[in-house]
Amino acid sequence: MQLAKVVGTIVSTQKDQHLMGCKLMIIKKIDENGEYEKYSSNSTAIAVDTVGAGIGETVIVTQGSTARFVYGNKTTPMDMTIVGIVDEIQTSAPEVQKTL
């Protein structure tokens, strides 16, 4: 999955009927420090929100055919879904407790 930040929403009236009612968010990939990954493919993308994410939030994004399984409708032409909101990123290893 990808680590991303929600930066906007899409308004689209003329679209595939299976996308009606889907909340389309613009996401940008970030690294573990919250920096944008400008060299990454799909550094900006559109994902369907399924967890109630808002602009500015850090999210977990699933791509590919897997993305359709979240929404429950296998014929919806979506290939990217927001599947979680990130509360915290822990980048240092926990203290290893030495047991004597």
Q: Residues in the site for its own copies, rule: CB under 8 A?
A: 1-3, 7-16, 18-19, 24, 26, 28-32, 37-47, 50-52, 54-56, 60, 62-70, 74-81, 83-94
Nearer to its own copies, 64 or 100 (CB): 64
Minimum gap (Å) between residue 52 Cβ and its own copies: 7
Minimum gap (Å) between residue 1 Cβ and its own copies: 4
Minimum gap (Å) between residue 98 Cβ and its own copies: 16
Nearer to its own copies, 75 or 100 (CB): 75
Distance, in Å, from the CA atom of 27 to the CA atom of 41, rounded to the nearest integer, reads 13
Distance, in Å, from the CA atom of 27 to the CA atom of 16, rounded to the nearest integer, reads 21
In DSSP terms, which residues pair with 76 in a beta bridge? none
Query: Which of 59, 79, 82, 85 is CA-nearest to residue 18?
Result: 79
- The residue type found at 59 is V
